[in-house]
Amino acid sequence: MYKSIETKNLELKEIFNLMISGIAPRPIAFVSSQDSNGHDNLAPFSYFNGFGSNPPIIGFSPANSGRTGKQKDTLLNIKETKEFCVSIVDDDMVEQVSLSSCEYDRSIDEFVKSGFSKKQSSLITPPGVLDSPFIMECKLYDIIELGNNPGSGNLILGEILCFHVRENILNDNNEIDPYKLNPIARLGYNFYTRSKDGLFEVFKPRYNGIGFDQLPPLIRESEILNGNQLAKLAGVEAIPLKSDDFSKFDELSTNELYDIIHNSLKTNNISEAWQSIIRIIEKDVQ
């Protein structure tokens, strides 16, 4: 059962609250910019993501004030100078980031107000946030104004010119370790989430899997296995043949075999899970 709500029947604040609560969690772009007079500005935006790798494009959307319709200082600055930095927010920064979101006058430096140090950029004028583990220097690619009303978005697309990656977040393979990066993400109202607290891996099938439709009906229609478990089973290239290496399974009950399936899928031992399934199907036929 769903509650269906047409946007034409909602106030702006209701639409905003539904969007920020339902589209979650969202990464935070901590954007530093500079006006034509050299005044630095720093502000967080959670309508943010990457949009391509060649060229490397990121985008974020500062919304017009819901009360006055006035455009944000960040947008005005980028229109003037065509440059900005995006610094990723980690757990150690979140309270200061919240402080920086206050609506200070355009000439006020939020780096100073929120206590952040500046990291000089290599290729552009606006600095990054020295406390951030991951910084991107960007030049303006495009601005798409999504209406001129209170609450309207302004999609700012930037081409990444330079990455700055703090070395202590890299693993032995010189890749970013998500546990060390631990970016903070935004949800609705006053809620945030720490990424590493909820990290888990999902391994993409190595093949074009057989799909749900090719699963044996007894398994596909089972109330004992959920959708995530069935998806792992459906990711195999072909249903395997019965293997004598698992002959010990022949003496197990159906319930015991289902227990093996559950445990095997937890550890991504798909072969073992399928050998259990083969025995369950044999018992059903007998």
Domains of the chain: 7-198 (2.30.110.10), 212-285 (no CATH)
The pLDDT of residue 142:
98
The pLDDT of residue 280:
95
The pLDDT of residue 271:
95
The pLDDT of residue 200:
84
The pLDDT of residue 285:
81
The pLDDT of residue 67:
84
Q: Are 116 and 100 in contact (CB under 8 A)?
A: yes
pTM: 0.87
| DSSP summary character for residue 115 | T
The pLDDT of residue 245:
96
Estimate to the nearest angstrom the gap between the alpha carbon of 185 and the chain centroid: 8
Mean pLDDT by 10 residues, the chain (286 residues): 95 94 96 96 97 98 90 96 98 94 91 96 98 97 95 97 97 96 95 92 85 94 94 94 95 96 94 96 86
Neighbours of 146 (CB within 10 A): 13
The pLDDT of residue 66:
86
Query: How far is 72 from 53, CA to CA, in rounded Å?
Result: 27
Phi, psi of 27 (to 5 degrees): -65, 160
How far are the Cα atoms of 6, 103, 282 from residue 18, in angstroms, in the given order?
Answer: 12, 23, 50
| DSSP summary character for residue 183 | B
